């Protein structure tokens, strides 16, 4: 039996059931997952039945600049491990961290993010071509929120899944979406090979999960 969960708003706008993929910053993993899911829907002629979106559980935190110090230091260390800074600068940053100099930590965090984001963007562009993702990859980053039309939400990691579960618990919707964790490693700041391995794993899992969902819903 085929499910049809579409409904109309009072203004006449159709709201289709939504499938969502979420990671941390809505850049490296969830946008390629979103595109792969749309490709899968098109292969079955179902691209107009569902809305597919992606989001990030910490997008608002990152944009606000209120990033926890532990996360900032972790990002800085990733940046240093990739030979982005000289030995002398590395020692200087190490001292800043040991001194808990918050202003300087924020300064080096912003520098690390700029360079690591540029690196990940390059890796993502290469991966899109390498793995044959024939869909437009979104460029904007959106915060994960609870949506009543979401029927399935796939998190890239357990930490993302915990945020998602809390969001939907607070929302109190009568029907909660299917929530699954894909366990996709985060390749951010770890080089091209690690990022490619992450995307390869991601694409295989998205294909599997989409097939299972569509069979369950009677679409294929």
Taking a C-beta distance cutoff of 8 angstroms, is the pair 58, 25 a contact?
A: yes
Question: Where residue 2 falls among pLDDT bands split at 50, 70, 90?
Answer: very low
Q: What is the mean pLDDT of residues 5-9?
A: 55
Taking a C-beta distance cutoff of 8 angstroms, is the pair 172, 146 a contact?
A: no
Taking a C-beta distance cutoff of 8 angstroms, is the pair 75, 116 a contact?
A: yes
Query: Chain-wide mean pLDDT for the chain?
Result: 93
Higher pLDDT, 128 or 2: 128
Find, among 57, 79, 60, the residue nearest to 161 by Cα.
57
Give the DSSP H/E element, type plus range, for residue 74: helix 69-81
User: What's this model's pTM, rounded to 2 decimal places?
Assistant: 0.90
Question: Where residue 84 falls among pLDDT bands split at 50, 70, 90?
Answer: confident
Q: Do the strands 18-23 and 14-15 form a parallel or antiparallel pair, or are they unpaired?
A: unpaired
Q: Do the strands 150-155 and 18-23 form a parallel or antiparallel pair, or are they unpaired?
A: parallel
Give start-end residues of each CATH 3.40.50.2300 domain in the chain.
7-63+133-216
pLDDT digit string, tens, across residues 128-183: 999 999 999 998 999 999 999 999 999 999 999 999 999 999 999 999 999 999 98
Q: What is the CATH number of domain 7-63+133-216?
A: 3.40.50.2300
| Number of other residues whose CB lies within 10 A of the CB of residue 201 | 16
Quickly tell me which residue has 């009072």 as its tokens: 10
Q: Tokens at residue 35, please?
A: 């595109």
Question: Where residue 7 falls among pLDDT bands split at 50, 70, 90?
Answer: low
pLDDT at 11: 58
């Amino acid at each position: 039996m085929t499910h049809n969960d579409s409904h109309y708003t009072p203004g006449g706008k159709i709201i289709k059931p939504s499938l969502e993929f979420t990671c941390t910053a809505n850049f490296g993993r969830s946008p390629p997952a979103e595109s792969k899911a749309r490709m899968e829907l098109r292969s079955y002629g179902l691209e107009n039945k569902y809305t597919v979106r992606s989001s990030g559980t910490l997008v608002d935190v990152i944009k606000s600049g209120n990033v926890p110090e532990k996360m900032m230091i972790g990002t800085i260390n990733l940046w240093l491990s990739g030979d982005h800074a000289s030995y002398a600068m590395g020692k200087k940053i190490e001292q800043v961290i040991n001194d808990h100099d918050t202003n300087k930590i924020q300064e080096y965090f912003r520098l690390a993010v700029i360079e690591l984001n540029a690196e990940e963007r390059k890796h993502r562009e290469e991966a899109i071509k390498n793995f044959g993702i024939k869909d437009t990859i979104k460029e904007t980053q959106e915060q994960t929120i609870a949506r009543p039309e979401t029927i399935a939400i796939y998190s890239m990691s357990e930490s993302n899944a915990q945020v998602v579960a809390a969001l939907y618990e607070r929302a109190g919707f009568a029907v909660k979406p299917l929530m699954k964790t894909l366990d996709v490693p985060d390749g951010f700041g770890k080089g091209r090979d690690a990022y490619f391995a992450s995307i390869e794993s991601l694409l295989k899992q998205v294909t599997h999960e989409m097939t299972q969902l569509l069979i369950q819903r009677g679409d294929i």
